[in-house]
A = this chain, B = another copy of it.
């Protein structure tokens, strides 16, 4: 086991948020921006609230990000990066392809449940027809690698005779994402219209079960 080289105090003192620490300040602002934009959308988000939550000043938002829209873009990139980070730990190479597929679904849906800010930011960005995303320099790094992962799984499942051949991994991914995203994103209006609380754990679990079943039937043989 490797011993970590002792870091200098200067770089990593745990004495709370230091002044004059570029990266730390920037990160606090970005984190606060994600929360604010997720809660209020782009135009109703308030610079002052972001600054306060970041224990910084409104002036600093502009110092680090230049404008509200640029900050929004950074927040958007940040939630995509977090998703990619989470996806990196995902492995689908177990024997049982059907089990692996369900695990994949659950992974995606759990991520959505645990990261409502992801859904909210994406909805906001879609209202703007992805204007900010298209300006992003990191666009290339945003492409999901899990579609490839899913492709491998489909192939293995097909060879094992558990999955039918010819399933498009991108389509499958969209189907899985749809089932999680739509439900969570629209549960407020749906709850009002259907007159039942879609946020209740039992409603959620029922939805995941049925969704998993649908996905299974979509790829399983016969």
- Of the listed stretches A54-62, A96-104, A129-137, A150-158, chain B binds A129-137
**A44: contacting residue among B43, B139, B168, B207, CB under 8 A:** B43
Is A8 part of the binding interface, using a Cβ–Cβ cutoff of 8 Å?
Answer: no
Is A142 part of the binding interface, using a Cβ–Cβ cutoff of 8 Å?
Answer: yes
Q: How large is the interface on A (under 10, 10 to 19, 20 to 34, 35 or more residues)?
A: 35 or more
B-facing residues in A43-77 (Cβ within 8 Å): 43-44
**Across the interface, which residues of B come within 8 angstroms of A177, CB to CB?**
182
**A171: contacting residue among B174, B188, B195, B206, CB under 8 A:** B206
A residues adjacent to B (C-beta < 8 A) = 40-44, 80, 120, 122-130, 133-134, 139, 142-144, 147, 168, 170-171, 174-175, 177-179, 181-183, 185-195, 206-207, 210-211, 213-214, 217-218, 222
